[in-house]
């Protein structure tokens, strides 16, 4: 090759290099995500058989009507179960006035994981059973107490299973599990028009919200479970939850749906319901949502056997328990 040819070749490569360099100049930075990549959190598996057995145990005591001997026995059992798994357990005792002006001795039971951690949430459910099957088709049953397998025991069963899991796979945030007494002691249906008494439901949560079990108690938010065990249950986005805690509703429903439970956690707005979370929002000012099975078209607006003698163990469905429990685990282990 002549000198001239060699120069031409060198010149050619010089031009190619310049062109390539200038082309790459615009977006030369290596491709990165804006957010740092976070390690994927391991979410433990919810055991619906275990939750089911905790519901069975409660129902086996008989109706857990506030202030009765059966109620005392069940309270002792719940306290023992929570003590097995949580760091601390407190029983908040109180006296409240019922719809008929009788005094009721109540027990709210609170288990705490990482009690010293200010970054915390709580999960709750009522553990009492309604003294009156006032929605039973047979009028003769309207003053009989109910088993409350779904209305009461189901939420507690799911939360006991979560307590057990928390003790084996440690979440990053603090968690309280609260069982409220006397939620279901509200005025019987046939007396509603005669006794104009406000706020006869949620007596345990009202007591707790006014006089927290620990002075200065703080939680970022709360989640209430109510009737979370019936087959094909649907959880509409309850009205007070959307009003007081819209971000938590969004977070929980999005989490549940992306975990595969969109048949249960539906995107429709439900009516506002005077449940424990209402008093927690109003009195204690902690944004709290209610995951509650409502059913437009039924007489009470809830699941078919609501406040009837038919709210029994055979109405409990393990797939529903799994949907709720696994969704809650995704929420808990996704928090930091």
Q: By the criterion CB under 6 A, which residues form the site for ligand AHN?
A: 151, 184, 201, 226, 273-275
Pairing of strands 103-113, 88-97: antiparallel
Task: Candidates 136, 181, 184, 276: give the one binding Zn ion (CB under 5 A).
Answer: 184
Q: What is the DSSP string of 239-274?
A: HHHHHH-HHHHHHHHHHHHHTT-TTTEEEEEPPP--
Cβ-closest residue to ligand AHN?
274
Nearest CA among 245, 237, 236, 256 for reference residue 331: 256
Asked if 83 and 158 touch (Cβ cutoff 8 Å), the reply is no
Specify the residue, 49 or 199, whose C-beta has the smaller distance to Zn ion: 199
Task: Candidates 151, 176, 181, 238: give the one binding Zn ion (CB under 5 A).
Answer: 151
Smallest distance, Å, CB 110 to Zn ion? 21
* 176 sits near Zn ion (criterion: CB under 5 A): no
Specify the residue, 130 or 164, whose C-beta has the smaller distance to Zn ion: 130
231: helix, coil or strand?
Answer: coil
Smallest distance, Å, CB 66 to Zn ion? 12
Site string for Zn ion, 113-142 (x = CB under 5 A): -----------------x------------
Signed CA dihedral, 273, 279, 280, 282: sign only: positive
Smallest distance, Å, CB 231 to ligand AHN? 18
User: How far is Cα 127 from Cα 55, in angstroms, rounded to an integer?
Assistant: 11
Number of residues that bind Zn ion (CB under 5 A): 3
Smallest distance, Å, CB 96 to ligand AHN? 16
Q: What residue 181 binds from Zn ion, ligand AHN, none (CB within 5 to 8 A, per partner kind)? A: none
Specify the residue, 151 or 335, whose C-beta has the smaller distance to ligand AHN: 151
230: helix, coil or strand?
Answer: strand
Asked if 143 and 132 touch (Cβ cutoff 8 Å), the reply is yes
Specify the residue, 176 or 184, whose C-beta has the smaller distance to ligand AHN: 184
- Tokens describing residue 146: 């109910």
């Amino acid at each position: 090759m002549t000198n001239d040819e060699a120069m031409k070749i060198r010149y050619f490569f010089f031009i190619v290099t310049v062109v390539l360099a200038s082309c790459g100049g615009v977006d030369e930075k290596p491709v990165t995500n804006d957010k740092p990549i976070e390690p994927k959190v391991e979410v433990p598996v919810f055991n619906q058989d275990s939750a089911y057995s905790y519901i069975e145990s409660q129902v086996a005591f008989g109706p857990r009507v506030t202030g009765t001997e059966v109620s005392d026995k069940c309270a002792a059992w719940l306290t023992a179960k929570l003590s097995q798994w949580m760091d601390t357990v407190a029983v908040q005792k109180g006296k409240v006035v019922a719809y008929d002006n009788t005094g009721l001795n109540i027990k709210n039971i609170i288990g705490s994981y990482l009690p010293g951690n200010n970054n915390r949430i709580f999960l709750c459910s009522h553990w009492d059973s309604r003294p009156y099957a006032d929605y039973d088709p047979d009028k003769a049953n309207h003053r009989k107490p109910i088993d409350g397998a779904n209305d009461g025991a189901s939420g507690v069963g799911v939360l006991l299973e979560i307590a057990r899991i928390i003790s084996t796979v440690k979440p990053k945030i603090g968690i309280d599990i609260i069982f409220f007494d006397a939620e279901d002691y509200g005025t019987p249906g046939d007396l509603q028009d005669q006794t104009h008494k406000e706020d006869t439901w949620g007596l345990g949560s009202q007591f707790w919200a006014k006089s927290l079990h620990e002075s200065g108690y703080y939680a970022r938010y709360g989640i209430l479970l109510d009737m979370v065990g019936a087959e094909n249950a649907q959880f509409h986005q309850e009205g007070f939850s959307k009003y007081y805690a819209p971000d938590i509703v969004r977070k929980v429903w999005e989490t549940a749906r992306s975990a595969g439970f969109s048949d249960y956690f539906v995107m429709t707005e439900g009516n506002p319901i005077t449940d424990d979370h209402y008093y927690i929002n109003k009195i204690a000012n902690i944004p709290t949502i209610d995951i509650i099975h409502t059913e437009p078209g039924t007489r009470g607006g809830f699941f078919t056997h609501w406040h009837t003698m038919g709210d029994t163990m055979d109405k409990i469905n393990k797939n529903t328990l799994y949907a709720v429990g696994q969704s809650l685990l995704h929420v808990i282990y996704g928090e930091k």
